[in-house]
Amino acid sequence: MRVDYSSLTRPKLTVAPSLDFVAPVLARVYVPRMSTSQPPSPEAVFDTLFAYQRSAALKTALDLDLFSAIDEGANTAAAAAGRCGASERGVRILCDYLTTIDLLEKSDRTYRLPPDSAAFLSKRSPMYMGQMARFLLMPGVKNNFDDLTGAVQRGGVAPSGNTVATENPIWIEFARSMVPMMVPAAHGIAAALGIEKAGPTRVLDIAASHGIFGITLAQRNPQVEVTAVDWAPVLTVAQENAAAQGVGGRIHLKPGDAFEVDFGTGFDVALVTNFLHHFDHATCTSFLAKIRRALKAGGRVAILEMVPNADRVTPPVPARFSLTMLGGTPAGDAYTFDELRDQLEKAGFADVTAHPLPTPETVLIARAV
């Protein structure tokens, strides 16, 4: 089944309701010092300090399959509690909290799913993304942020928390959990490459993970053959997914470290997806030169990345991704278009173009010269 993601609305980023008990204090303390008509508000400060409660509440709702229960008609606290095997009090408090952050809606004592939650958080939807929480909230990913102060002081993660360490087991969970988030990007890459009209195409899929990028190209063009590179345990997931999607015979595995494996030569397309941000600028440039040597002259590389604007603070999701890299890698970053173009041109590519997606990421296409 192919899903059209282009019409979907991105989840809204909202703040919790204001803390009314603080207002009288603010009126007395801050107004005399301010020249503006509106007193300052600590709402953003409190909202950020309590942000861990948001992710905990969402994970709990996913663990209990609460959104699916409500979607199926168990739309009161009592009914949802029975369906989820939880206490009525606990479910009522959880549902009310989720309502304050716009993941549920409430009328009297009845709850319902707003469009975003129905699309992404109910298992009744083909676009369900709840399994992503297994990776994004696993200790090996989020615990590094308990020492973000140290990462800022060092300029990178401590060695013990390096997510790109050799054969880190978190990438197996990544491969099993993150496919729903990557499906629209995979189709975006296929469209940017014009893969359906490309004829016989040899594809090199770097850090293939779940394999969905190469799998999508193979599904949309029966003459595509994919060589998938990743650590052996991770490629097992890609192999399973390829078989399930009916293209297992055209996905060929090359296990090992992408920096050390001999890719071979003569490829028409190279996929470098969600990879460069783990490394510093010089390492990215050197690695892209290796990719260039694996491609035919005129071959193309497709890069998928979080790409902030030159100001590095917009759009918010790609801009914030730099902090993810600070907290999880020794020297990774979210690179701007100009920085990625510089890496590509120094590595032997030209004609760099950017293609936006209905997700926070961007696809860059460049030609080997």
Tens digit of each residue's pLDDT (9 = 90 or more) over 253-289: 999 999 999 999 999 999 999 999 999 999 999 999 9
Q: CA 339 from chain center: how many Å?
A: 21
- Pairing mode, strands 267-273 and 201-206: parallel
What's residue 132's pLDDT?
A: 87
Let me know: does 318 contact 360? Beta carbons within 8 Å: yes
Higher pLDDT, 3 or 152: 152
Whole-number Å distance between alpha carbons of 257 and 207: 9
What's residue 177's pLDDT?
A: 82
Question: Would you call 255 helix, strand, or coil by DSSP?
Answer: strand
Whole-number Å distance between alpha carbons of 61 and 78: 15
Whole-number Å distance between alpha carbons of 247 and 159: 39
Per-residue pLDDT at 316 exceeds 60: yes
What's residue 258's pLDDT?
A: 95
Q: CA 271 from chain center: how many Å?
A: 17
Question: Would you call 302 helix, strand, or coil by DSSP?
Answer: strand
Whole-number Å distance between alpha carbons of 246 and 108: 48
What's residue 137's pLDDT?
A: 83
Task: Return the sign of the alpha-carbon dihedral for residues 338, 344, 348, 354.
Answer: negative
Buried b (16+ CB within 10 A) or exposed e, 204-239: bbbbbbbbbbbbbbbbbbeebbbbbbbbeebbebbb
Tokens at 350, concatenated: 């030209």
Per-residue pLDDT at 163 exceeds 80: no
Section 314-327 average pLDDT: 95
Tokens at 176, concatenated: 């099993």
Per-residue pLDDT at 152 exceeds 80: yes
Tens digit of each residue's pLDDT (9 = 90 or more) over 166-194: 667 777 887 888 888 899 999 999 999 99
> Which fold, 149-368?
Rossmann fold (3.40.50)
Q: Quick one: which of 138, 182, 127 has its CA closest to 161?
A: 138
Helices 212-220 and 232-244 pack at an angle, to 10 degrees, of 30
- Chain mean pLDDT for the chain: 88
How far lies 267's CA from each of 25, 211, 214, 238, 251, in Å? Answer: 66, 17, 13, 20, 14
Question: Would you call 120 helix, strand, or coil by DSSP?
Answer: helix
Let me know: does 368 contact 295? Beta carbons within 8 Å: yes
What's residue 165's pLDDT?
A: 65
What's residue 9's pLDDT?
A: 37
pTM: 0.82
Question: Would you call 289 helix, strand, or coil by DSSP?
Answer: helix
Let me know: does 261 contact 235? Beta carbons within 8 Å: no
Let me know: does 198 contact 300? Beta carbons within 8 Å: no
Higher pLDDT, 161 or 75: 75
| Per-residue DSSP letter, 38 | S
Q: Pick left, alpha or beta for residue 200 (phi over 0 → left; psi -120 to 50 → alpha; otherwise beta).
A: beta
Whole-number Å distance between alpha carbons of 107 and 128: 25
Tens digit of each residue's pLDDT (9 = 90 or more) over 22-78: 333 333 333 444 445 789 999 999 999 999 999 999 999 999 999 999 999 999 999
Let me know: does 277 contact 305? Beta carbons within 8 Å: yes
Domain ranges of the chain: 20-122, 149-368
Class (C level, CATH) for 20-122: mainly alpha
Q: Quick one: which of 282, 273, 278, 276 has its CA closest to 238?
A: 273
What's residue 166's pLDDT?
A: 65
What's residue 175's pLDDT?
A: 81
Question: Would you call 264 helix, strand, or coil by DSSP?
Answer: coil
Per-residue pLDDT at 363 exceeds 50: yes
Question: Would you call 115 helix, strand, or coil by DSSP?
Answer: helix
pLDDT band at 203 (very low <50, low <70, confident <90, very high): very high
Tens digit of each residue's pLDDT (9 = 90 or more) over 215-266: 999 999 999 999 999 999 999 999 999 999 999 999 999 999 999 999 999 9
- In which element (H, E) is residue 284 found? helix 281-294
Tens digit of each residue's pLDDT (9 = 90 or more) over 102-149: 999 999 999 999 999 999 999 999 889 998 888 888 887 788 888 899
**Partners of residue 287 on adjacent β-strands:** none
What's residue 36's pLDDT?
A: 58
Within this chain, domains 20-122 and 149-368 share the same CATH topology: no
What's residue 171's pLDDT?
A: 77
pLDDT band at 349 (very low <50, low <70, confident <90, very high): very high
**Partners of residue 205 on adjacent β-strands:** 228, 271
Task: Return the sign of the alpha-carbon dihedral for residues 305, 309, 315, 318.
Answer: positive
